[in-house]
Amino acid sequence: MEDRPQIGYSKRVMDHFMNPRNVGEVENADGLGLVGNPVCGDLMQVTIKVEDDVITDIKFKTFGCGSAIATASMVTELAMGKHLDEALAITRQDVADELEGLPPVKMHCSNLAADALHEAIEDYQEKKKKKEAEMAA
């Protein structure tokens, strides 16, 4: 990548767009989050593997713009190795801040990334509760 400024995007956004981290799908995922934005057409999936309530693996797939790719990549980095409570505390603004900002028109992309993470964690927690209830019965 050339070292010239990208209009409206920080170098960090461009790095995560050009070199996204944790792309793909976790095999035998413990949690799945799938969210979309009908206005822009972006779609994002986050899958997680959890051990002792810590995210040990996380991957994403997205159908969307460069900002959607960058925010999903950043969310996976922020959540990896975190306790579920810490990962649930990751906000849309945290994602944008870690990327050193997003153009206002692209802030909805950081919403998708954080929302997909939260949905994956909630999916895991629901499955865990159901399993515990079945074992107690």
Helix (H) or strand (E) segment spanning residue 44: strand 43-51
Is 44 in contact with 36 (CB distance < 8 Å)?
yes
40 is catalytic: yes
CA distances from 92 to 2, 98, 108 (A): 29, 10, 9
Q: What are phi and psi of 39, to 5 degrees?
A: -70, -50
Q: Does the annotation mark 65 as catalytic?
A: no
Q: Which of 55, 95, 109, 114 is catalytic?
A: 109
Residue of 40, 54, 65, 80 marked catalytic: 40
Q: What is the DSSP string of 50-107?
A: EETTEEEEEEEEEES-HHHHHHHHHHHHHHTT-BHHHHHT--HHHHHHHTT---GGGH
Catalytic residues: 40, 109
